[in-house]
């Protein structure tokens, strides 16, 4: 096996790795003579200590030319030194948790994991239309109430499946939702956990709830299910308006302080939310986590919602 740069030279192939093939009941290491051939097409993005590539895997259905899988390459090195045992354990925890919820239609499928000398490769289902953020920016059908409703209900189903199986994502945001036609799917379980509570903050600062940010040196345990609910609220605002409601859920942020002082989100012309959605968001952004709607109730609230954006926003979407 070559070094990391050789593995990901788009002109070369990955072959003869140790493969951990996933099946519904086990993670198995096949005989050493098993060979796989994966051809990398292009790098999609870098995310921290990992990179995402589109690729062709000859063992999967496809014409051999168009990408039929995505590769998440997670380096085992940092500054040329091996990762700590804790960091490596986190990588395998991500794999294990993703596999635990792998059967859900609304979660991107993890096909197999290839363990190389300098990196661990997650071979996953490919979504040619990319991420939800790209779709939202494109407008058109992605800006209509119908699409927003259908897509957001799928995201809720993904989170509900996770919670039912004792998994809490902790980093729900539009960047971690993929799109293929009318289907959307949740991905990136790098911050996910099976713990019911936590005293450590995780996730992107603009999407996390207030009680997930403790002062340095202090620990303030919080329940994880309501935390995911809060993040879903940020996703909903983002899907409708292409914006987030605040930069941080703290009174140091004028937008958040105004909301806590009673200014409705749809009072801002940049956040053209319907009154129906405003009522639901008020439930989601309840400061007391235990008063937020459970995931099953949130599904019912969204399913019963008839209007998501203002009339002006609908006109803009139709023009797109």
Task: Write the CATH number for 283.
Answer: 1.10.510.10
Distance CA 65, CA 58 (A): 10
Q: Which of 124, 144, 160 is the last residue of a domain?
A: 124
Q: Which domain holds residue 102?
A: 4-124
Residues 250 and 281 in one domain: yes
In this prediction, the residues of the chain whose per-residue pLDDT falls under 50 are: 1-35, 213-218, 317
Final residue of a structural domain among 71, 96, 124:
124
Q: Give the pLDDT score at 316.
A: 58
Both 73 and 180 in a single domain? no
Known catalytic residue: 171?
A: yes
Closest listed residue to residue 125, CA positions, set 74, 188, 75: 188
Q: How far is 292 from 215, CA to CA, in rounded Å? A: 24
Q: Do 160 and 25 share a domain, yes or no? A: no
Asked if residues 296 and 289 have their Cβ atoms less than 8 Å apart, the reply is no
Distance CA 192, CA 284 (A): 21
Same domain, 237 and 303: yes
Q: Look at residue 202 in the predicted model and tell me its pLDDT.
A: 57
Q: Which residues pair with 70 in a beta bridge?
A: 54, 124
Per-residue model confidence (pLDDT) at position 29:
37
In this prediction, residue 200 carries a pLDDT of: 60
13 and 58 assigned to the same domain: yes
Domain with 105 in it: what CATH number? 3.30.200.20
Based on the domain organization, do 115 and 154 belong to the same domain? no
What domain count does the chain have?
A: 2
Same domain flag for 169 and 37:
no
Q: Supply the pLDDT for residue 212.
A: 52
Please give the pLDDT value at position 139.
86
Catalytic residue, chosen from 57, 145, 171, 228, is: 171
Encode pLDDT of 15-26 as tens digits.
334 444 443 333
pLDDT at 31: 35
Give me the pLDDT at residue 79, please.
85
Alpha carbon distance 108, 126 (integer Å): 8
Q: Residue 314 has what pLDDT?
A: 55
Same domain for 221 and 308, yes or no, is yes
118 and 172, same domain (yes or no): no
Check whether residue 142 and residue 94 sit in a common domain.
no
pLDDT digits (tens, 9 = 90+) for 183-238: 999 999 999 999 988 766 555 655 677 755 444 444 566 789 999 999 999 999 99
The pLDDT value recorded for residue 198 is 75
Asked if 35 and 52 sit in the same domain, the reply is: yes
Residue 190 to residue 200: CA distance in whole angstroms: 15
Do 292 and 311 fall into the same domain? yes
């Amino acid at each position: 096996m070559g070094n990391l740069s050789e593995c990901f030279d788009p002109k070369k192939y990955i072959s003869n790795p140790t493969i951990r093939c996933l099946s519904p009941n086990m993670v198995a290491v096949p005989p050493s003579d098993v060979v796989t051939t994966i051809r990398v097409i292009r790098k999609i993005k870098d995310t921290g200590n990992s990179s995402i590539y589109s690729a062709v895997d000859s063992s999967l259905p496809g014409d051999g030319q168009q990408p039929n899988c995505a590769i998440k390459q997670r380096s085992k090195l940092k500054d040329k030194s091996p990762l700590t045992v804790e960091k490596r354990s986190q990588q395998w925890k991500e794999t294990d948790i993703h596999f635990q919820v792998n059967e859900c239609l609304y979660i991107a499928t993890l096909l197999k994991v290839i363990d190389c000398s300098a990196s661990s490769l997650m071979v996953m289902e490919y979504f040619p239309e990319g991420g939800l953020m790209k779709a939202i920016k494109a407008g058109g059908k992605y800006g209509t109430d119908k699409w927003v409703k259908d897509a957001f209900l799928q995201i809720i189903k993904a989170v509900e499946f996770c919670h039912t199986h004792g998994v809490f994502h902790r980093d729900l945001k539009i960047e971690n939702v993929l799109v293929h036609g009318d289907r959307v799917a949740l991905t990136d379980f790098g911050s996910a956990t099976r713990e019911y509570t936590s005293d450590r903050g995780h996730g992107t600062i603009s999407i996390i709830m207030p009680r997930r940010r403790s002062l340095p040196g202090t620990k303030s345990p919080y329940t994880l299910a309501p935390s995911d609910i809060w993040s879903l609220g940020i996703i909903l605002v983002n899907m409708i308006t292409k914006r987030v409601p605040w930069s941080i859920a703290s009174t140091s942020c004028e937008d958040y302080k105004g909301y806590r002082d009673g200014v409705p989100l749809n009072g801002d012309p940049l956040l053209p939310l319907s009154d129906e959605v405003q009522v639901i968001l008020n439930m989601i952004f309840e400061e007391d986590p235990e008063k937020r709607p459970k995931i099953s109730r949130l599904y019912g609230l969204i399913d019963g919602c008839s209007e998501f954006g203002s009339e002006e926003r609908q006109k803009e979407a139709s023009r797109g």
